[in-house]
Chains A and B, each alone.
Chain A
Amino acid sequence: METFSDKRILRKTRSDKIVSSIFLFIGFLSASFIVIIVGFILFKGVTPFFSTYSMEDRKFSVNFINFLFGNSWKENSDLSVTYGVGFIIIDTLIVTFLSLVLAVPLSILTALFIVRIAPKQLSIVINTCVELLASIPSIVFGVFGMGVINPMVNTIASWFNLQTPGGRTMLSMVFVLTIMIYPTITMVSTTAIKAVKKNIIDGSLALGASMTETNFKVVLTSAKSGIFAGIILGVGRALGEATAISLVCSAAGSGPNFNLFGSTRTLTTTMLLGIHETTGVDYDIRFSVAIVLIVIIFLTNVILNYIKKRIGRIS
């Protein structure tokens, strides 16, 4: 009798061991995908710098220094082929920064309004609108950008007697990105402002500050760490966004561009342009641009998180 039950226990534990090791394997497999992604992009992205390509009867390889600091990008042109992402990096950062400048005040005040100021019904309406905006796929923003924002920017440019290629300018890109990161920052800020403790607010009111002063000087300062987390998410979305802005941008061949009504290009739109290439340097170079994008996203995240920590410590 005893041996029988022992056997059963033994069998159970053995099958349990098998099952749990299967789950262990799958868990590690899922986690390993990030390594595979980064590894393959790195591997493929460095090939343009170490292999020679032949184009139009001449051989060349991409120079890494020229690639990183170059200020012109020409694909398939007859005279010269140059790949320089230096100006594209600067353009990307400018576009991201400008859309942050627009989106951050909008988002913070909207979040403050939703949580602290608006009557309940209105607050539900605005919150629903923000959630709606967050759920709209990016391609729809692209259609909206082409149909509404490009003509709008073109009209604005004509007030200053400026010519734009159908509104395909940096400003249209900034507007589209602003609309896209606004809900992200707003939703995180709303959560952060909701989490502000009531006794801090009561204390401020008891000391004679008005409701508005309390909202701006006490609530926002207490929630700034959470708001900053939202900004970090927004920057990530702005840097990685591709299809929507590829529809409203025009491909600048050189730069950097500091003109609001000038044409510009970002790292992601560079990857999307000329996607029909399937071989050769024009295909491989996209992976090098992807490495640059990954590094920039990583660096901005590290820097912003450092700033967030500093801000959090002060309060």
Chain B
Amino acid sequence: MSKQRFIKEIILQVITYLFSSVGVIVVVGIFIYIFITGASSLSWGLLVSDYNIDSYTLSYNNYVEGRYDYNANDDEYYSSRWGVAFVDSTNIEGKAVVKVSYVHPSSPFNTLTNSSDGSLYSITKGEIIETAILYGSDINGNEIFIMPLSKNGAKKMASQFDLGYKIQSLNIITEGGGIRGSLITTLYMILFTLLFCLPLGIASAIYLGVYAPKNKVTEILRMMIDMISGVPSIIFGLVGAMIFIPFFNVVAKSSGGSILSGASTMAIMLLPIVIKNTEEAINNIPSHYKDASLALGASETQTTFKIILPNALPGILTATLLSIGRIIGESAALIFAVGTSIQDKITPNGSSTTLAVHIWYLMGGENPNYNTSAAISIVILMIVLLLNILVKVLGNKFNRFNVSR
């Protein structure tokens, strides 16, 4: 081998190694960035708390003499009379506030009275104490008012609470910024989309795989269904906004985008996936299954529902899992078909938004919220990866007709 040829070969090999490592670097980079940025915000509280901020005025009218034991951390300040620990923290706008970091199980803070309607309210971790007015006594035993303020810090607040024995009023603000509403919307979206999409898709696949004659018309039908998968998702969003939002405004009395309009849009978008996977599963069923069923006297309908459909189940399951992954990750179509308003009370015909659009909303504003967005991204990534692994496992396990893939 000549020297020139040898050098050329080495260069080509080095380039190949370098270029192939880029993909790995990018994947690792994305995961590291998302996990480092999101890990601090990702907590159970994020998943279960509301997005919108609520404020309450509470009171406690019994005398409190309790001594509740708790080993406070270094940054916590504990009021042993009330059994509550406070920490210095910041709210969403970055202002210094005092948050509740611990509530003793038998603390009076679990049975405060809501001043507006008299119902019981229990304070949970993470809620912000704005202001309070407590009854206390000075050195001479005279009754005085003690007024802890959020801006004076957690240390002062804990000591002031320790002096008071009755709460006249306590103003608290829930933390907000949680994703519970969007999480529930995403689950609803999956449910309704599958409800709309699976019957249509499976029936179409049965028609194409079992009933359709092998002619030009069937070919054109297949081509048209394939073309749906070539349409960009943002176009589906426009179509959803134009057809389904007005439709459900009339039918389901929604106003503007709703889970129903989003699910219908997603259903059309996912039809090709469902049809393709189901039809492939139907085609993989050995023809003697069908022949045997017909020869035993079963009608064509019976054969379809009792032989073809059960044997195509792995394909349908794969399609379902792939669809769920797409629904969770889809943003462009749902921005139009559902809308971007983040809600806490979720109804199928009310306005709300899914996790992916939630991220888009958080990142698109004036002050992009990187931490929460990355935390939601972690949730989405975990679910999507899990679904992908499941699809792979299913593909290997259910391949009972030994079809090589």
| A27, B203: Cβ atoms closer than 8 Å | yes
Q: Is the CB of B363 within 8 A of A109?
A: no
Main secondary structure of the interface of B (DSSP, over half): helix
Does A280 reach chain B (CB closer than 8 Å)? Answer: no
Number of interface residues of A (CB under 8 A): 81
Contacts of A90 in B (CB 8 A): none
- Beta-carbon contact of B359 and A240 below 8 Å: no
Q: What residues of A have a CB within 8 angstroms of the CB of B230 in the complex?
A: 236, 297, 301
Q: Which residues of A contact B13 (CB under 8 A)?
A: 117, 212
Among A105, A247, A290, which residue has its beta carbon within 8 angstroms of that of B363? A247
* Chain A binding surface, main DSSP class: helix
Q: Which of B99-107, B143-151, B187-195, B232-240 contacts A (4 or more CB under 8 A)?
A: B232-240
Closest to B245 in A: A278
Chain B contacts with A in 10-30, Cβ cutoff 8 A: 12-13, 15-17, 19-20, 22-24, 26-30
Q: When the two chains form their complex, are residues B336 and A275 in contact, meaning their CB atoms are under 8 A apart?
A: yes
Stretch at the interface among B88-96, B131-139, B169-177, B372-380: B372-380
Tell me if A40 and B34 are in contact (CB < 8 A).
Answer: no
CB distance from A30 to the nearest CB of B (A): 4
Q: Is the CB of B238 within 8 A of A130?
A: no
Chain A, 198-233, contact with B by CB distance < 8 Å: what is the 0/1 string?
Answer: 000000000000101100100000000000000000
Known A16-B300, A143-B34, A212-B12; contact A240-B232, beta-carbon cutoff 8 A: yes
**Complexed CA–CA distance, A275 and B377 (Å):** 23
CB distance A143 to B225 under 8 Å? no
Judged by a CB distance under 8 angstroms, whether A281 is at the interface is no
Question: Closest approach, in angstroms, between the C-beta of A96 and any C-beta of chain B?
Answer: 13
How distant is B143 from chain A, measured CB to nearest CB, in Å? 54
Shortest Cβ distance from residue B184 to the other chain A in the assembled complex, whole angstroms = 19
Q: Is A50 an interface residue (CB 8 A)?
A: no
**B357 CB, nearest partner CB in chain A, Å:** 8
The answer to whether B329 and A138 touch across the interface, beta carbons within 8 angstroms, is yes
Chain B residues with CB under 8 Å of A268's CB are: 232, 234, 332
User: At the interface, yes or no: A261 with Cβ under 8 Å from chain B?
Assistant: no
Indicate if B388 sits at the interface (CB-CB under 8 A). Answer: yes
CA distance A301 to B227 in the complex (A): 12
Of the four ranges (under 10, 10 to 19, 20 to 34, 35 or more), the interface on chain B belongs to 35 or more
Residues from chain B with a CB closer than 8 A to the CB of A98 are none
Closest to B300 in A: A16
A17-52 to B contact mask, C-beta < 8 Å, 1/0: 001101110111111111111001100100000000
Q: Which residues of chain B are near A143, meaning CB under 8 Å?
A: 34, 359, 363, 370, 373-374, 377
CB distance A130 to B385 under 8 Å?
A: no
Bound Cα distance A40, B237 (Å) = 12
A196 CB within 8 Å of chain B? no
A286 sits at the interface (CB 8 A): yes
Measured between alpha carbons, how far is A31 from B325 in the docked complex, in Å? 23
Greatest chain A CB density within 10 A among B17, B275, B360, B373 is at B360
Q: A34-B228, A41-B235 are in contact. Are A24 and B211 (CB under 8 A)?
A: yes
Residues of B within 8 A of A (CB): 1, 5, 9, 12-13, 15-17, 19-20, 22-24, 26-30, 33-34, 37, 200-201, 203-204, 206-208, 210-212, 220-221, 224-225, 227-228, 230-236, 238-239, 242-243, 256, 268, 271, 275, 299-301, 304, 325, 328-332, 335-336, 340, 356, 359-360, 363-364, 368, 370, 373-374, 377, 380-381, 384-385, 388
Known: A27-B207, A27-B208. 19 other contacts (CB 8 A): A13-B299, A26-B204, A41-B238, A110-B22, A113-B17, A126-B23, A136-B381, A137-B384, A140-B381, A144-B29, A146-B368, A183-B23, A210-B1, A213-B9, A240-B232, A242-B233, A243-B356, A243-B360, A287-B242
